[in-house]
Amino acid sequence: MSFTTDVKSEIATTTLNACCQKAQCAALIQLCSSMVLSSQGMQIQIKTENATTAKRIWILLKELYKCQMELSVLRKMNLKKNNIYAIKVVTLSKEILNDLGLLTDQGLQDHPLRKMVSKECCARAYLSGAFMATGSVNSPHKSNYHLEIVTQEYSHALFIQKLMFRFDLPAKHIERRKQHVVYLKASDKISDFLRLSGANNSVLDFEDIRIQRDFHNSLTRLDNCEVANEMKTLQAGKKQVEYIEILQKAGVLDNLEDKLKDVAYLRIEFPEASLNELCNEYELRTGAVMSKSGMKHRLTKIIDEAKKIRNI
């Protein structure tokens, strides 16, 4: 199963208060259903590819409204051939929509009434229901973190986005293929969303994998940095030796000041050593303390002397 499926399965097992049940049911109905007019009157037609989501909707409607429903399973004809779970609410459809704030005297609403999510627990339930309906989250094994909820209506997308803002979740909105997507990219905020949705085990899995990936990436960056520094040291040492050899061939190396001559012969002996290593070796041989900047300054003076000869 995908990580998204695992998260939805866990959310579906959470226990909700009656008010929270209505909030979650409102999100599921809003995002998964359509209205059907038949000889029997108005009916709600609900479709989802997730079996857990279908089961949650069935249980919520049964517990809240004791309505009559019919369940059918369809097979998609595309390459994936996923099942489609279809629930038809045969009775009380209008009463259900009225009670959930999705149908008023002004007609069908793009989003439920504000009072449906006025309580914090209900807002959490609504967001978790929206995620179960049309949400997805990338596996933490992947290199990019991404959680999104898709809706057909712009106003509904803004409604979901504002709900996320209430919980300090900086959700963004884009339009993709005539659909509206509310999404999170920051890994810590995705973790917060999973936590408020009640997917606590998924949070632990997400954080464990994320920390392992970040730790591995940090080690890789550190290794790359160390390799880069080592390459710089080798290149600098090779360049300095080349200039010292110019002085040797010209027969002027031994005419330099003792402090420069000592450093020059030290560099020839240790062409791959870093400045710190040269300073330590210099102190062992002469008993004089040499700073890293002092060593660099003397090597620079040696190079300047070599450049004068090379340009003659």
pLDDT tens digit string along 159-192?
999 999 999 999 999 999 889 999 999 888 999 9
Give pLDDT tens digits for 72-101. Answer: 888 766 656 678 899 988 888 889 888 888
**Would you say residue 205 lies in a domain?**
no
Q: Please give the mean pLDDT across all residues of the chain.
A: 85
Find out whether 43 and 88 touch, Cβ atoms under 8 Å: yes
**Would you say residue 226 lies in a domain?**
no
The whole-model pTM stands at 0.68
Give pLDDT tens digits for 27-57. Answer: 999 998 887 777 677 888 999 988 899 999 9
Placement of tokens 């009072």 in the chain:
115
Q: Are 72 and 168 members of one domain?
A: yes
Q: Are 75 and 150 members of one domain?
A: yes
**Would you say residue 34 lies in a domain?**
yes
**Would you say residue 227 lies in a domain?**
no
**Would you say residue 281 lies in a domain?**
yes
Q: Are 187 and 237 members of one domain?
A: no
Q: Are 132 and 240 members of one domain?
A: no
User: Which pair of tokens denotes residue 196?
Assistant: 């408020």
Q: In this prediction, what percent of the chain has a pLDDT beyond 90? A: 34
**Would you say residue 169 lies in a domain?**
yes
**Would you say residue 140 lies in a domain?**
yes
Residues 6+ apart with CB under 8 A from 45: 33, 34, 35, 36, 86, 87, 88, 89
Q: Are 101 and 244 members of one domain?
A: no
CATH number of the domain bearing residue 7: 3.10.28.10
**pLDDT greater than 80 at residue 228:** no
Q: Which of 198, 219, 248 is the last residue of a domain?
A: 198
Q: Rounded to whole angstroms, how far apart are CA atoms 121 and 21?
A: 10
Total domains, the chain: 2
Per DSSP, the residues of 28-53 read HHHHHEEEEEETTEEEEEEEES-HHH
Placement of tokens 């004089």 in the chain:
288
**Would you say residue 218 lies in a domain?**
no
Range of the domain at 266: 232-310
Q: Which sign, positive or negative, has the C-alpha torsion 41, 54, 198, 109? A: negative
Q: Rounded to whole angstroms, how far apart are CA atoms 169 and 184?
A: 8
